């Protein structure tokens, strides 16, 4: 895990790519050259009424140019994410990162790997797909509206599941895996808890090595406040109970390490 830094990043570009989905490229001083797939940054609004930063996963990383792309969902009026969506190129944005542990690329190298994303868990799969040297099957689940599909398709065999059946398989990512008779040797997944729970069970039943990136509400983002703990098999050295801090010990875990 890279050492975290706090910087004032410059917004290079911002565009709306879905109803409430926005894509933002940031120019950093160092964070962009240190980040790895699966990590996240904490983004500050600069609004004193919103003291806590918002954790946003990394969608793309350009290490040579020290640039980062985040794709995020606006969660409502007056929220931090709405504030970000109104920012224009050239504006400064306080960020802290890179945070958390990324996906272990070596675990899937040279193997048949399934990358599974659901909802706002889709964006982190793009940089992972770009960097992973493997036979890649990308299974992405959406409620209805699609985003990032062209970028994903350029980096692996793409399978889509939608709740309303408007594209790909009607149903869940697990339905898409079954319909297309996919048989991965390694799984990487990011998405809402019900999806991760189903993926974890499938991996255990099929004896497949599986890594999950967990989504939890966070406060500090650095492991101090224990607001984002999840239950684990082992006793945590920090809290002395059976939990792990998603922001610091994760967000990526071996699926057998945690309860979902």
- The confidence score (pLDDT) of residue 178 equals 98
Question: Are residues 121 and 209 both part of a single domain?
Answer: yes
Are 54 and 77 in the same domain?
yes
Confidence of residue 250 (pLDDT cuts 50, 70, 90): low
Task: Please report whether residue 149 resides in a domain.
Answer: yes
Count: domains in the chain:
2
Q: What is the CATH number of the domain that holds 18?
A: 2.40.30.10
Over residues 71-91, the mean pLDDT reads 95
Does any domain span residue 10? yes
Regarding whether 186 and 127 lie in a shared domain, the answer is: yes
With helix as H, strand as E and coil as C, how does the chain read?
CCCCEEEEEEEEEEEECCCCEEEEEEECCCHHHHCCCCCEEEEECCCCCCCCCEEEECCEEECCCCEEEEEEECCCCCCHHHHHHCCCCCCEEEEEEEECECCCHHHHCCCEEEEEEEHHHCHHHHHHHHHCCCEEEEEEEECCCCCCHHHHHCCCEEEEEECCCCCCEECCHHHHHHHCCCCCCEEEEECCHHHHHHHHHHHHHHCCEEEEECCCCCCCCCCCCCCCEEEECCCCCCCCCCEEECCCCCEEEEHHHECC
Domain membership flag for residue 221: no
CA 205 from centroid of its chain's CA atoms: 25
Same domain, 162 and 121: yes
- Looking at the structure, do residues 95 and 109 belong to the same domain, yes or no? no
Determine, yes or no, domain membership for 258: no
Q: 46, 74, 99 — which closes off a domain? A: 99
Looking at the fold, whether 142 and 156 belong to one and the same domain comes out as: yes
Residue 232 resides in a domain: no
Contacts of 204 (CB under 8 A, 6+ apart): 210, 255, 256
247 falls in which pLDDT band (50, 70, 90)? Answer: low
Q: Which domain holds residue 155?
A: 105-213
Query: Which residues are CB-neighbours of 224 under 8 A, at least 6 positions away?
Result: none
Tell me, yes or no, whether 147 lies in a domain: yes
**Residue 99 CB contacts under 8 Å (≥ 6 apart), including other chains:** 4, 39, 40, 41, 42, 55, 221, 222, 247, 248
Domain boundary (171, 189, 213) is at 213
> Which residue from 90, 74, 70, 91 is spatially nearest to 82, judged by alpha carbons?
74
Tell whether 57 is covered by a domain.
yes
**Does residue 53 sit in the same domain as residue 129?**
no
Residue 167, pLDDT > 90, answer yes
Span 16-63, pLDDT tens digits: 999 999 999 999 999 999 999 999 999 999 876 677 889 999 999 999
Same domain, 38 and 85: yes
Contact yes or no for 112/106 (Cβ under 8 A): no
Among 69-83, 100-114, 173-187, 231-245, which stretch is predicted with the lowest mean pLDDT?
A: 231-245
We report the CATH number of the domain holding residue 184 as: 3.40.50.80
Among 81, 99, 117, residue at a domain's last position: 99
Residue 196 located in a structural domain:
yes
Do both 197 and 157 map to the same domain?
Answer: yes
């Amino acid at each position: 895990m890279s050492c975290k830094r706090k910087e004032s990043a410059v917004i290079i570009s911002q565009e709306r790519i879905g109803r409430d989905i926005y894509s933002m490229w940031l120019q950093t001083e160092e964070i962009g050259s240190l980040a790895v797939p699966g990590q996240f940054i904490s983004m500050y609004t600069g609004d004193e009424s919103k003291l806590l930063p918002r954790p946003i996963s990394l969608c793309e990383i350009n290490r040579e140019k020290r640039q980062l792309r985040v794709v995020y969902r606006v969660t409502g009026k007056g929220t931090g994410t709405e504030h970000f969506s109104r920012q224009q190129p050239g504006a400064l944005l306080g960020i802290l990162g890179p945070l958390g542990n990324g996906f272990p690329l070596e675990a899937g190298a040279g193997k048949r790997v399934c990358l599974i994303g659901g909802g706002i868990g889709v964006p982190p799969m793009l940089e992972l797909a770009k960097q992973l040297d493997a036979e890649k099957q990308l299974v992405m689940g959406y409620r209805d509206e699609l985003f990032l599909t062209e970028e994903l398709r350029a980096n692996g065999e793409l399978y889509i599941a939608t709740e309303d059946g408007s594209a790909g398989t009607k149903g869940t990512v697990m339905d898409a895996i079954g319909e297309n008779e996919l048989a991965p040797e390694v799984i990487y997944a990011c998405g809402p808890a019900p999806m991760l729970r189903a993926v974890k069970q499938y991996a255990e039943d099929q004896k497949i090595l599986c890594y999950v990136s967990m989504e939890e509400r966070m406060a500090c983002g650095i492991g101090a406040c224990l607001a984002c703990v999840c239950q684990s098999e082992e006793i945590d050295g920090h809290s002395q109970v059976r939990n792990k801090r998603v922001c610091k010990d994760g967000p990526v875990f071996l699926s057998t390490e945690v309860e979902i």
